[in-house]
């Protein structure tokens, strides 16, 4: 087990190493579509790349989610992310409900440096595929 400060240090080391290994300017929050953001997540059990519909405007969230559902078969094609999961009601740790499309890799840990290279490759590859999809279909998603 790691102390809270040791865990924080390991997390910082991972994200610094990831940035150096994959020095790309990711879209993340800069989608230019309010309420739509890409996210990286890596913890002690899994790595995750997601496209989140996170807005307090329920109507906007429903419209964005419906548009993403209309594109589901394209996103899940071999060209993009066939293993993508769609969750229309995902509850964050803070209790906020969002809609999320994600891909994840299980049985890897940010605390295990032996899994870092595999995790970095997973995160980079899958975020790139998400971004490729988004850039190809951005106009459809704009409200």
- Checking if the pLDDT of 143 tops 80, the result is no
- Taking only the tens place, the pLDDT of each residue in 86-141 is 999 999 999 999 999 999 999 999 999 999 999 999 999 999 999 999 999 999 99
> Rounded to two decimals, what is the model's pTM?
0.93
Give the other-Cβ count within 10 Å of 106's Cβ.
8
pLDDT value of position 78: 97
40, two tokens: 């990286």
Task: Tokens 């419906």: give the residue.
Answer: 66
15, two tokens: 């994200």
DSSP code at position 110: T
């Amino acid at each position: 087990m790691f102390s809270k400060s040791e865990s924080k240090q390991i997390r910082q080391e991972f994200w610094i190493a990831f940035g150096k290994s994959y020095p790309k300017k990711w879209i993340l929050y800069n989608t230019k579509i309010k309420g739509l953001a890409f996210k990286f997540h890596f913890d002690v059990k899994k790595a995750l790349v997601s496209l989140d519909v996170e807005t307090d405007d329920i109507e906007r969230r429903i419209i964005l989610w419906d548009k993403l559902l209309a594109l589901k078969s394209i996103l899940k094609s071999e060209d993009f992310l066939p293993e993508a999961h769609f969750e229309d009601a995902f509850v964050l740790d803070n209790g906020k409900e969002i809609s999320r499309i994600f891909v994840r890799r299980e049985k890897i840990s940010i605390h295990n440096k032996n899994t870092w290279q595999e995790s970095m490759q997973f995160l980079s590859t899958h975020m790139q595929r998400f971004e490729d999809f988004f850039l190809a279909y951005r106009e459809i998603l704009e409200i």
